[in-house]
C-alpha cells in the first residue's frame, strides 16, 4: 500500500516535470490511470522604462500665480471714485472693470440666443434702404442734408459710400491731402478699411472728435488709425477672422444705436477681419457680439461692434464692412440679410450712428 501511494505521487509529479514518453511506463507498472493535461505557456508582458529628464529648454517650470490682497480690518480697500474732468481721455483714465455689454447680463443674452441657421443671400435695391430710413428716422429728411456734413475717407476694401448712395445721403470724399479743409464743416467722418491716414491726419481726426464730431471706422481701420486716434479705448488683438457669416447678438438693447435691429441676426465677416479687444474704459459700450466668434478672439467676447465717447464726440467701430459685400460679383448681393429689417445688422447699427450724428448737426 505504501508502494502504491508512492507510485501515484511519482506519476503526478511526472505529469508536470517529466516528458510524456518517459512518464507512461511508470504509470503502467503501477496499474494506475493518469490523465495527461496540456499546459499552455504563460502570457509574456513587456514594459518600457521612461527616463525622466530635467526640463531645461522649451517650457518654463510651472509657478502658481501669487495673488496679494490689501486688507484693513478684514475689508478690501476700495478704489476712489472717478472725478469727471471733461477733457479728452481724462474721464476714462481709470480702469472701470467690465465694459458695458460684457457683463453677466450680456453674457446671458449671448448664451440664450437661438442659432441663426442657414442664411440665404438676397439682392437689395436702394428702395429697401430708403424704406428702412423712412420707418426708423421719419423726422430727419435726407433732402435737408448738405454734402459737407458727411466726409468719407475712401478705402481699398470697404466702400461705405455705396450704402450712403442707396440712402441718398449726400457726402464729400477726402484723403490725406484735403482732410484739413473738409473737417471744419463736417458732423460725421467715415473712414473705410484699411484707414490709411498720415500722422498729421490722425491729429486732425482726434481734434475733430474732441470738439463734438462723430467717427465711424471699419475693420482694418482699427490698427490702421483708430488705435492711434483714441489710444486705450480699443485694440486689435492680433488675430483675424475667416471669410464667414457668424451670429450677431445685440447685447446692449437699451442703446439707441441698435434701434430697429433684430437679434440674433447674421453678420458677414471678410477674410482676415481684425478681431477686437476692448479697452477698460468707462465709456466703452459693446453693442453686438458673436457666440461663434467668441471662440476665436483672445478675450472670448466675440465683439462685433462697440461705441464710446471721446471728448465731446462719439466713435463707432465695426468688425467687417458697411458695404453689402466685397467678394461677390454683384454689388447688390447681401450675404447676411437680417430678419424683418432685411438690411444687415451691421448696416442697421451703422445707419443709426450716421443718422444720429447728422440729426445733431442738422
Report pLDDT for 79. Answer: 38
Half-sphere exposure of 167 (CA within 13 A, CB side): 29
Q: Which residues contact 22 (CB under 8 A, 6 or more apart)?
A: 14
Q: Within this chain, do residues 8 and 142 fall inside the same structural domain, yes or no?
A: no
State the average pLDDT over residues 148-153.
Answer: 97
Contact 340, 262 (CB under 8 A): yes
What is the CA 339 to chain-centroid distance, rounded? 22
43-82 in b/e burial notation, b at 16+ Cβ within 10 A? eeeeeeeeeeeeeeeeeeeeeeeeeeeeeeeeeeeeeeee
Q: What are the pLDDT digits (tens) for 227-281?
A: 999 998 999 988 999 999 999 999 999 999 999 999 999 999 988 999 999 987 8
User: For residues 175 and 98, which has the higher predicted lDDT (pLDDT)?
Assistant: 175
Q: Is 38 exposed, middle or buried (0-12, 13-18, 19+ CB in 10 A)?
A: exposed
Residues 132 and 14 in one domain: no
Mean pLDDT of the chain: 81
Could you tell me if 30 and 127 lie in one domain? no
**Residue 242 in domain:** yes
- 2 and 116, same structural domain? no
Q: Give the residue among 193, 235, 217, 229 at the shortest CA–CA distance from 316.
A: 217
What percent of the chain has pLDDT above 70?
73
Neighbours of 215 (CB within 10 A): 25
Residue 100 is predicted with a pLDDT of: 83
Residue 87 lies in a domain: no
pLDDT for the residue numbered 3: 45
Domain of 18 in residue numbering reads as: 1-36
Is there a single domain that holds both residue 277 and residue 184?
yes
Do 15 and 111 belong together in one domain?
no
- Judgement on whether residues 16 and 152 belong to the same structural domain of the protein: no
Q: Is the pLDDT of residue 112 over 60?
A: yes
Q: State how many domains the chain has.
A: 2
pLDDT digits (tens, 9 = 90+) for 29-56: 445 555 555 555 555 555 556 566 665 6
Residue 10 has pLDDT above 60, yes or no: no
221 and 135 housed in the same domain:
yes
pLDDT over 50 (residue 130): yes
Q: Is the same domain home to 115 and 209?
A: yes
- Residue 323 parent element (H or E): none
In a domain, 81, yes or no: no
Instruction: State the distance between the two ends of the chain, measured CA to CA, in whole angstroms.
Output: 129
Mean pLDDT of 66-87: 42
Q: Checking DSSP bridges between strand 150-153 and strand 188-191, what pairing results, if any?
A: parallel
Flag whether pLDDT at 26 surpasses 50: no
- pLDDT value at position 42? 55
User: Does 55 fall in a domain?
Assistant: no
84/222: higher pLDDT: 222
Domain holding 266: CATH number?
A: 3.40.50.880
**Torsions phi, psi for 303 (to 5 deg):** -70, 130
Asked whether residue 48 is domain-assigned, the answer is no
Contact 234, 277 (CB under 8 A): yes
**Within a domain: 120:** yes
* Residue 320 and residue 234 in one domain: yes
Lowest-confidence region among 10-19, 105-114, 148-157: 10-19
pLDDT for residue 162:
94
Q: What global pTM score does this model have?
A: 0.73
Return the pLDDT at 98.
58
Higher pLDDT: 246 or 118? It is: 246
Amino acid at each position: 500500500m505504501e508502494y502504491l501511494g508512492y507510485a501515484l505521487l511519482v506519476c503526478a509529479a511526472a505529469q508536470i516535470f517529466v516528458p510524456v514518453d518517459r512518464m507512461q511506463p511508470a504509470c503502467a507498472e503501477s496499474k494506475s490511470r493518469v490523465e495527461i493535461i496540456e499546459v499552455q505557456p504563460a502570457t509574456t508582458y513587456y514594459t518600457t522604462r521612461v527616463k525622466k529628464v530635467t526640463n531645461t529648454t522649451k517650457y518654463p517650470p510651472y509657478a502658481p500665480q501669487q495673488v496679494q490682497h490689501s486688507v484693513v480690518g478684514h475689508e478690501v480697500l476700495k478704489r476712489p471714485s472717478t472725478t469727471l474732468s471733461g477733457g479728452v481721455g481724462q474721464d476714462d483714465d481709470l480702469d472701470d472693470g467690465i465694459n458695458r455689454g460684457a457683463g453677466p447680463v450680456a453674457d446671458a443674452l449671448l448664451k440664450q440666443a437661438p442659432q441663426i441657421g442657414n442664411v440665404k443671400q438676397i439682392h437689395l435695391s436702394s428702395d429697401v434702404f430708403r424704406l428702412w430710413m423712412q420707418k426708423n428716422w421719419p423726422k430727419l429728411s435726407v433732402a435737408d442734408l448738405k454734402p459737407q456734413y458727411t466726409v468719407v475717407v475712401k478705402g481699398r476694401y470697404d466702400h461705405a459710400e455705396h450704402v450712403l448712395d442707396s440712402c441718398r445721403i449726400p457726402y464729400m470724399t477726402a484723403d490725406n491731402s484735403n482732410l484739413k479743409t473738409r473737417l471744419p464743416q463736417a458732423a460725421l467722418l467715415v473712414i473705410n478699411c484699411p484707414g490709411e491716414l498720415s500722422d498729421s491726419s490722425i491729429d486732425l481726426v482726434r481734434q475733430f472728435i474732441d470738439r463734438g464730431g462723430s467717427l465711424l471706422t471699419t475693420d482694418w481701420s482699427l490698427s490702421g488709425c483708430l488705435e492711434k486716434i483714441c489710444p486705450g479705448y480699443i485694440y486689435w488683438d492680433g488675430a483675424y477672422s475667416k471669410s464667414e457669416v457668424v451670429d450677431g447678438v445685440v447685447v446692449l438693447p437699451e442703446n439707441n444705436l441698435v434701434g430697429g435691429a433684430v437679434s440674433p441676426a447674421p453678420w458677414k465677416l471678410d477674410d482676415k477681419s481684425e478681431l477686437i479687444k476692448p479697452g477698460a474704459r468707462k465709456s466703452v459700450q459693446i453693442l453686438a457680439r458673436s457666440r461663434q466668434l467668441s471662440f476665436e478672439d483672445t478675450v472670448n467676447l466675440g465683439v462685433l461692434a462697440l461705441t464710446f465717447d471721446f471728448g465731446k464726440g462719439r466713435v463707432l467701430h465695426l468688425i467687417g464692412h458697411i458695404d453689402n459685400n466685397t467678394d461677390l460679383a454683384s454689388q447688390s448681393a447681401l450675404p447676411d440679410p437680417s430678419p424683418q429689417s432685411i438690411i444687415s445688422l451691421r448696416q442697421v447699427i451703422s445707419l443709426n450712428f450716421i443718422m444720429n450724428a447728422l440729426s445733431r448737426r442738422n
